[in-house]
């Protein structure tokens, strides 16, 4: 809806002899999501925009129809958050053998680090520092085929009862370390599993998770014990999509020996069809997503 109202407002600004009055207010969040740097500004539009505008009756009628159309026809943008693949396809992000869901699409192996206190008090906010080290001079192949910087993401599996700390409980010093990261639970019933990313790797190769410990005095399902913590982190795009198809960030082997005779886009959303002609004039088409 933000994009819809922004589009309508821009259109009105370009309209000749038009004057509008309104307000723009910003919704303040502790962890604004920073995927494509889309601002979360909500535009307050009222009927006074049209009534007080110096336009003809026809222009008012046209703008009214445009506003109704924008509300009824939503603008859907492609999802940029790759962790949603894991959330939609796997009920539990950690398999019985310890494998984290990140490894299903990111085939290479690199170490990640986590720093947590040795012990915490009940009902206390503490830091979990996640480090995803990599050579920041390295670039990757983006979905459009161009080179770009690497993004990073992480899945942090905490013991049951632990969760991300509410905004009002986070100290100011910790907020400055968190920067503009946004943490979301893996599922509605799995608030102890936190997902973040993809976010720019150069800025967030080290992340600070604000964690709230449970209180056994009020929650009888938790006890004073030693608990394990599991972490899965990745840097860069994956090599395989959840449906098994390859991304363009992997190695492709030709299905047959021959000559590449044609390369053309497979769809407006991306991908290519590569035609290979063999020595006996047979043609094979390899799809690259």
0.85 cut: is pTM over it?
no
Omega before residue 198 within 30° of 0, cis: yes
What per-residue confidence (pLDDT) applies to 62?
66
Of 157, 117, 154, 115, nearest in space to 132 by CA: 154
pLDDT at res. 120:
94
Q: Quote the pLDDT of residue 41.
A: 32
pLDDT at residue 67, rounded to an integer: 58
Q: What's the pLDDT score for residue 211? A: 97
CA 177 from chain center: how many Å?
Answer: 20
On whether 70 is known to bind a ligand per the annotation, the reply is no
Domain-by-domain residue ranges, the chain? 2-72, 83-235, 259-288
What is the rounded distance in angstroms from the CA atom of residue 84 to the CA atom of residue 222? 29
pLDDT of residue 48: 43
pLDDT at res. 194: 94
pLDDT for the residue 115: 96
- Per-residue pLDDT 10s for the chain (289 aa) are 333 333 333 333 333 333 333 333 333 333 333 333 333 333 333 344 444 444 556 666 666 666 555 544 433 333 344 566 677 777 888 888 888 888 888 888 889 999 999 999 999 999 999 999 999 999 988 877 788 999 999 999 999 999 999 999 999 999 999 998 999 999 889 999 999 988 999 999 999 999 999 999 998 888 888 999 999 999 988 888 877 777 877 777 777 888 989 988 888 877 788 899 988 888 888 887 6
- pLDDT score, position 232: 92
Is 227 annotated among the ligand-binding residues?
no
Query: What is the CATH topology of the domain spanning 83-235?
Result: Immunoglobulin-like (2.60.40)
Per the listing, tokens 């830091």 go with 127
How far apart CA 83 and CA 53 sit, in angstroms, is: 46
| Cα distance between residue 205 and residue 61, in whole Å | 52
Annotation-wise, does 106 bind a ligand?
yes
Residue 102, marked binder: yes
Give pLDDT, residue 221.
86
**Residue 153: what pLDDT?**
92
Residues near 198 by Cβ (< 8 Å), separated by ≥ 6?
35, 80, 81, 82, 83, 151, 152, 153
């Amino acid at each position: 809806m933000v994009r819809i109202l922004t589009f309508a407002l821009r259109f009105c600004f370009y309209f000749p002899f038009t004057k509008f009055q309104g307000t723009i207010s910003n919704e303040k969040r502790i962890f604004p999501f920073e995927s494509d740097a889309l601002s979360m500004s909500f535009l307050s539009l009222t009927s006074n925009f049209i009534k007080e505008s110096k336009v003809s009756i026809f222009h008012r009628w046209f703008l009214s129809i445009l506003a109704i159309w924008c509300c009824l026809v939503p603008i859907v943008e492609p999802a940029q958050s790759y962790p949603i693949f894991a959330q939609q396809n796997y009920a539990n992000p950690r398999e019985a053998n310890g494998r984290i869901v990140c490894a299903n699409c990111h085939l290479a192996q690199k170490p990640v680090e986590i720093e947590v206190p040795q012990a915490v008090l009940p009902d206390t906010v503490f830091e979990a520092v996640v480090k995803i080290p990599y050579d920041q001079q390295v670039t990757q192949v983006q979905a459009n085929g161009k080179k770009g910087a690497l993004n990073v993401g992480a899945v942090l599996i905490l013991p049951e009862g632990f969760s991300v700390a509410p905004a009002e409980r986070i100290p100011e010093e910790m907020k400055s370390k968190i920067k503009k990261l946004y943490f979301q639970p893996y599922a509605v019933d799995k608030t102890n599993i936190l997902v973040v990313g993809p976010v720019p790797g150069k800025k967030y190769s080290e992340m600070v998770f604000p964690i709230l410990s449970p209180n056994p005095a009020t929650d009888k399902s938790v006890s004073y014990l030693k608990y394990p913590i599991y972490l899965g982190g990745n840097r860069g795009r994956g090599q395989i999509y959840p449906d098994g198809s390859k991304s363009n960030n992997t190695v492709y082997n030709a299905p047959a020996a021959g000559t590449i005779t044609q390369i053309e886009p497979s769809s407006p959303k991306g991908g290519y069809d590569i035609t290979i002609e063999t020595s006996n004039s047979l043609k094979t088409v390899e799809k690259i997503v």
